[in-house]
Structure 1
Amino acid sequence: MIRSEPRRRTPLLLVEAATLLSGIGNGVATVALPWLVLERTGSATAAGLVAAATALPLLLSSLVSGTVVDLLGRRRTALVSDALSAVSVAAIPALDALVGLNLGWIVALAALGAVFDPAGLTARETLLPAAAQAARWRIERANGIHEAVWGLAFLIGPGVGGVLIAAIGPGPTLWVTAAGFALAVALVAAVRLPGAGRPERPPAGLWAGTAEGLRFVWRDRLLRTIALITMVLVALYLPVEGVLLPAWFVDQGEPARLGAILMAMSAGAVVGALASGTAGRRIRRRTLMVISLVVTGVALVGLATLPPYPAMLGFAAVIGLAYGPVNPLANYAMQTRTPERLRGRVVGVMTSFTYAAGPAGYLAAGPLVEWLGLRPAFLLLAGALLVAALVAAPLPVLRTLDEPPRHPPAPVGGTSGRVEGPLPLGEQWAPSAHRDPPGQG
């Protein structure tokens, strides 16, 4: 008798809870690190230097992170990455208490902590299709939830960071980041999913596997275009959160307001990501992408005028709401155009494109502020982002977002001969549970 696999929501809940906790830790650090630097040095250029120091390792480590996932396994990579991230972040307040920190120490430790983040992010994201399959969710719904959880983390984290900075100072606040990573490790350790353990077809090696992922992304016109668009937009936007807004609110002595602005962006992003699954059924995905990009650019220009604080909160919420569907759409493109065995590498390569131009943006933002002043520098970056969005909007290749998946759902029963229920759109075959026993990987 052919039997149906029961619906299992626990793996998806564990993956998303780990994503939430890890993201909260990063959200706290987003506020605490630049505040610590500005408090110690009073220099926007120094804050930009620290931000760039964290972005540079992100580029290299994110490029190879997907290959590491495909070599070591998804669950194991997530465990090791988050554990090392916890240790490296905890070292900042620990060393400050023992020997005191100067700018060099902060730069070095922030860079070390950034090395481990992409592998954990990539590993959790590559677990998502199998977790959605176990829960019998459409992949579009799972993508929206996943990005909403990430946005929720940055809704909670910066607010907690701002409150903690005001109460105990930026150094001790970083202990919260370490705690978030430690709890994420415990949750991922409990995940049991097909394909989460040791890969059956690992790449030939670190660099060969990374090169294979790069070639795949570059030869796929849609993935290449999304990667380049995201690279430009993130490069222009990251200095807003990492340098410009902190500099503005440090001058005003208002850490809680900085946290509230970042929370408003994240709240909008949560709503936008959750709505993306429903919106994708009502309008074309290409149309949704274009609206998201253009409205994000317009709202950022509004924020760059540095209007009264209530208006800043409104513009921040619109920025998050408009940009919310972009990452779920990018995830959908990766999942439906990438074979199972390459998923980790493709996610890693696409993530590395996101980080690639970040250091240049960070390094340019500090001198721009000191040369032009805060408001003109902010307007220049926001205007450039709007121009980039307007250039990307009419690109014909974005129409392929609405084409049928190149890698459609696995047949009912997969390779196991069992009826496993309807599979989420875009999920390909993953190894059967008996090939990935509990405890492996």
Structure 2
Amino acid sequence: MPPSSVHPLRDNTNFRLLFAGGTVSAFGDQFTLVALPWLVLKLTGNPAALGLVLAAMAVPRAVFMLIGGAVVDHFSARNVLLIARGANALMVAALAALVLTGGITMPWVYALALGIGLATAFAYPASTALMPSIVAPQQLQQANGALMGMRQLSLFVGPALAGLVIGTGAHAAAHGLADAHGLGRAFAIDATSFVCSLVTLALIRLPTGAKRAGAMPGVFGQVLGGLRSIAADPPLRAFMLYAAVVSIFVTGPTQVGLPVLADTRLDHGATSLGIVLAANGGGMLLGGLLSGIVARLVRGHLGTMILCFDTCVGLVLASLAGVHATWLAATLLAMTGLLGGVVQITLVSWIQRRVAPNMLGRTMSVLMFTFLGLGPLAAAGAGALLKLVSLPVLFVGAGLTLSTIALGCLASPALRDIRSQDAAPRTA
């Protein structure tokens, strides 16, 4: 069916509510994205501790992500999302209060990181599965483009603002913690954004047909059913396995490596970290805007495009080994964001159209697991590895490994031959 000429932002009240709440929440998320690693480094000065905090978020997220997808397929995606975001609001608010009052300690950081990870295990598959319930299939590409463009804009603007908020009065200590006032304000901004998102979600009204069926198999049976469904689809199965590889060699090293790079080698501390992450978000925003043009230029050969782009990303990651200036780090991260932004919109829409609606929550939970579960676990390994190797060795090793794997996968028909026009909906 050809794409609708009417954009869902114009004629769909539910989508406008989802978009508004998602916009505020996405901008708020960037404050915690910058503040949490900076808090750990200021409390401990230890990259390994940062890796452990990221792992504390990743373990419950990884363990419960697949269960979260099954829960979403069983209950209302909106209600699951309401509960998960409400829990996140409480925990981020607790972080803000503890930092501002001087009560923050690493045990509190680990405990709240565990809770945030558990909540996001349900929030991510719920937010992705909610979209087809409120947007017509022919408008999915436009709706995903709008949401991802907004998120990429938040990645562009949010980290820079967060860096400025945290860096206000940089190195001034409160309650013995450097940058405490800025860190507390950053967490408070994110908590407020969650509250705004909860209000808009509560106003969404789903059609009767969007409600889940009552009697369904057990949760673990549903999880296994989702995994079997992916295993029976060779292109989807191959992509999921490849996404896990990318998460390990890109997400893991950068989640630990970039804060350490900003703290030890760049010239403006937390502000440098915000600038670098903002540049990556700006690249993703531009890539998202160009994704339709690029998809036409490659004539729908999504698999080949992804593998070639990831080869380049690996080389850029390796080149971070020689960086000492904020502007150069920002330029390189903008390049990786540009390539990633081109891929994201088309690929998520491909999966949403390819997978049967009653399997979508579980399928997206597997995809989210590869990035949001494995990535931080790899970050924990990277943090520990930095006790044995230097930061340049970490970047070079991860980058060249990714490029080698991506080039090798060009020989795999299951990945190389993924095409955008192969996204016909599958029946349950």
Shorter-normalised TM-score: what interval? 0.7 to 0.9
**Contact preservation (8 Å) 1:54, 1:111:** yes
Kindly indicate whether residue 287 of structure 2 is the aligned counterpart of residue 286 of structure 1: no
Kindly indicate whether residue 93 of structure 2 is the aligned counterpart of residue 104 of structure 1: no
CA distance in 2, matches of 1:317, 1:114: 27
Could you say if the C-alpha distance between residues 201 and 401 of structure 1 is closer, same or farther in structure 2, counting changes exceeding 3 Å?
Answer: farther
- Cα displacement (A) at 1:201: 5.8
What residue is the counterpart of 1:207 in the other structure? Answer: 220
Residue deviations 1:130-158 (CA, integer Å, cap 9, x gap): 44428x63x33333333222222222332
CA distance in 2, matches of 1:170, 1:382: 31
**Contact preservation (8 Å) 2:70, 2:361:** yes
In structure 2, runs of 5+ residues without a counterpart are: 1-5, 169-180
**Contact preservation (8 Å) 2:310, 2:402:** no
Could you say if the C-alpha distance between residues 201 and 295 of structure 1 is closer, same or farther in structure 2, counting changes exceeding 3 Å?
Answer: farther
The aligned amino acid for 2:279 is A
What's the TM-score once normalised by structure 1's chain length?
A: 0.84
- Cα displacement (A) at 1:203: 3.5
Could you say if the C-alpha distance between residues 277 and 192 of structure 1 is closer, same or farther in structure 2, counting changes exceeding 3 Å?
Answer: farther
In structure 1, runs of 5+ residues without a counterpart are: 409-427, 430-441
Residue deviations 1:40-81 (CA, integer Å, cap 9, x gap): 111111111111111112112221121121222011111111
The aligned amino acid for 1:67 is A
**Contact preservation (8 Å) 2:351, 2:423:** no
CA distance in 2, matches of 1:164, 1:276: 32
CA distance in 2, matches of 1:14, 1:234: 31
Kindly indicate whether residue 249 of structure 2 is the aligned counterpart of residue 236 of structure 1: yes
**Contact preservation (8 Å) 1:64, 1:349:** no
What residue is the counterpart of 1:380 in the other structure? Answer: 397
Kindly indicate whether residue 135 of structure 2 is the aligned counterpart of residue 127 of structure 1: no
Could you say if the C-alpha distance between residues 125 and 287 of structure 1 is closer, same or farther in structure 2, counting changes exceeding 3 Å?
Answer: same
The aligned amino acid for 1:389 is A
The secondary structure found in structure 2 opposite 1:204 is: coil
- Cα displacement (A) at 1:22: 2.5
What residue is the counterpart of 1:419 in the other structure? Answer: none
Could you say if the C-alpha distance between residues 10 and 288 of structure 1 is closer, same or farther in structure 2, counting changes exceeding 3 Å?
Answer: farther
Could you say if the C-alpha distance between residues 130 and 288 of structure 1 is closer, same or farther in structure 2, counting changes exceeding 3 Å?
Answer: farther
What residue is the counterpart of 2:69 in the other structure? Answer: 66
Provide the alpha-carbon RMSD of the alignment. Answer: 2.5
CA distance in 2, matches of 1:333, 1:270: 19
Could you say if the C-alpha distance between residues 356 and 390 of structure 1 is closer, same or farther in structure 2, counting changes exceeding 3 Å?
Answer: farther
**Contact preservation (8 Å) 1:288, 1:325:** no
Kindly indicate whether residue 261 of structure 2 is the aligned counterpart of residue 248 of structure 1: yes
Aligned sequence identity (%):
27
- Cα displacement (A) at 1:101: 2.1
Could you say if the C-alpha distance between residues 392 and 23 of structure 1 is closer, same or farther in structure 2, counting changes exceeding 3 Å?
Answer: farther
Equivalences for 1:149-164 in 2 at 5 Å?
A: 149-164=150-165
**Contact preservation (8 Å) 1:14, 1:188:** yes
Query: Which residue, 209, 214, 234 being the options, matches 1:221?
Result: 234
CA distance in 2, matches of 1:123, 1:196: 17
- Cα displacement (A) at 1:229: 1.4
The secondary structure found in structure 2 opposite 1:169 is: helix
The count of residues paired between Structure 1 and Structure 2 equals 404
CA distance in 2, matches of 1:165, 1:17: 26
- Cα displacement (A) at 1:23: 2.2
The secondary structure found in structure 2 opposite 1:192 is: coil
CA distance in 2, matches of 1:197, 1:178: 29
What residue is the counterpart of 1:425 in the other structure? Answer: none
What residue is the counterpart of 2:343 in the other structure? Answer: 326
Residue deviations 1:168-198 (CA, integer Å, cap 9, x gap): 3323321111112111111122223436853
The aligned amino acid for 1:152 is L
Query: Which residue, 290, 306, 313 being the options, matches 1:275?
Result: 290
CA distance in 2, matches of 1:230, 1:259: 26
